[in-house]
Amino acid sequence: MNSLYKSKIEAATLLLVFIFTVMLIYGVGGIHTYGDISGSVVAEQYLHNGSGLTGSTNIVNSIVWDFRGFDTLGEEVVFFTGAIGVALVARKIKNSRKKISGRKK
Amino acid sequence: MDTIIKETTKIVFPFILIYGLYIALHGHLTPGGGFAAGAIIGSAFALLVISFEKKDLEHKLIIHKLIDIKSVSGLLMLLVLSKLGYHFRDALIESQTIFRLWSGGFTAMMNIAGMLMVATAIILIIYSLEKEAWR
């Protein structure tokens, strides 16, 4: 019973791996060659109208902080939450050592 | 630390701060931006904390008292609020000429806000860990 259950799970895993491999190969085949942006509407819009739409001549910066600004806002919030977590772990608690030693007695 | 490191830090520290501000203010013209500028300013304070001791820093730097979870988390609001100014951007860009320092519209403002955020986060990490070590 147990070995039958195991072999079923193994067969399902193999099937899933096979399906995902086929999907990945199919997806990678549709990617443009490096440096060729023809047919990609978003890339053409960024490159040709980027500095006119945002006013900044640094195209990378205009994408990061303006076109995809809300994504960057989320990154900043994640970074800041990490910093607050470090500060919370390393903060000074009043009389913490006395209380701990008192509990031991 | 050594006297050599202390004296070098005294000379170099303001220049690192000015370089970080330059990277942030020119973020829409030259390579760089808010993240890089914040990392540079944070590294300046890391140098300060490493080379000096607590008694040298505490009465000289106001940032030592400002860096606190309560006061710093207000800066998180600054970035969120600056994102709310999104609908001013078209009028701002039309009034500016490209390739000047006063250009970039919304991107320039977001660079400065992001620099403040990243710099305070790094300084908060460094000072809180250093307080733990000094205790």
CB-nearest to B28 from A53, A61, A86 is A61
Q: Which residues of B touch A80 (CB under 8 A)?
A: 73, 75-76, 117, 121
Highest-confidence segment of B28-42, B50-64, B97-111: B28-42
The pLDDT of residue A97: 58
What number of H helices and E strands is found in chain A?
Answer: 5, 0
Q: Which of residues 43-62 of A touch B (CB under 8 A)?
A: 51-58, 60-62
Task: Examine the domain organization and report whether A80 and A43 are in the same domain.
Answer: yes
pLDDT band at B113 (very low <50, low <70, confident <90, very high): confident
The pLDDT of residue A105: 45
DSSP B15-38: HHHHHHHHHHHTTTTSS--HHHHH
Model confidence at A102: pLDDT above 70? no
Task: Examine the domain organization and report whether A11 and A60 are in the same domain.
Answer: no
User: For residue A89, what are its two tokens?
Assistant: 């772990």
Task: Examine the domain organization and report whether A73 and A22 are in the same domain.
Answer: no
B-interface mutation test, from A49, A58, A81, most B Cβ less than 10 A away = A58
- The number of domains in chain A is 2
Task: Examine the domain organization and report whether A27 and A49 are in the same domain.
Answer: no
Task: Examine the domain organization and report whether A12 and A59 are in the same domain.
Answer: no
pLDDT band at A100 (very low <50, low <70, confident <90, very high): low
The pLDDT of residue A23: 94
Residue pLDDT, tens place only, A7-27: 889 999 999 999 999 999 998
Task: Examine the domain organization and report whether A16 and A46 are in the same domain.
Answer: no
- Distance in Å, alpha carbon of B55 to nearest chain A alpha carbon: 18
Widest CA span in chain A = 75
Model confidence at B46: pLDDT above 80? yes
Task: Examine the domain organization and report whether A48 and A7 are in the same domain.
Answer: no
Contact A56 B83 (CB under 8 A): no
- The residue whose two tokens read 């501000």 is B21
Task: Examine the domain organization and report whether A24 and A65 are in the same domain.
Answer: no
Task: Examine the domain organization and report whether A43 and A79 are in the same domain.
Answer: yes
Q: Which residues of B touch A79 (CB under 8 A)?
A: 117-118, 121
CB-nearest to A55 from B33, B76, B104 is B104
Rounded alpha-carbon distances, angstroms, from residue A51 to A64, A78, A89, B46: 13, 29, 44, 36
DSSP A21-55: HHHHHHHHHTSPPTT--TT-HHHHHHHHHHHHHHS
Task: Examine the domain organization and report whether A40 and A27 are in the same domain.
Answer: no
Nearest Cα to Cα of residue B25 among B96, B110, B89: B110
Residue pLDDT, tens place only, A29-59: 878 788 787 777 888 888 888 888 888 888 8
Task: Examine the domain organization and report whether A23 and A9 are in the same domain.
Answer: yes
Model pTM score: 0.76
Full residue range of the structural domain in which residue A51 is found: 36-104
C-alpha to C-alpha distance for B60 and B46, rounded to whole angstroms? 16
Task: Compute how many other C-beta atoms are within 10 angstroms of the C-beta atom of residue B63.
Answer: 13
Provide mean pLDDT across the span A62-77: 87
C-alpha to C-alpha distance for A63 and A78, rounded to whole angstroms? 19
Give ipTM to 2 decimals. 0.78
Task: Examine the domain organization and report whether A12 and A42 are in the same domain.
Answer: no
Give the percent of chain B with pLDDT over 90.
20
Residue A68 backbone dihedrals phi, psi, to 5 degrees: -115, 45
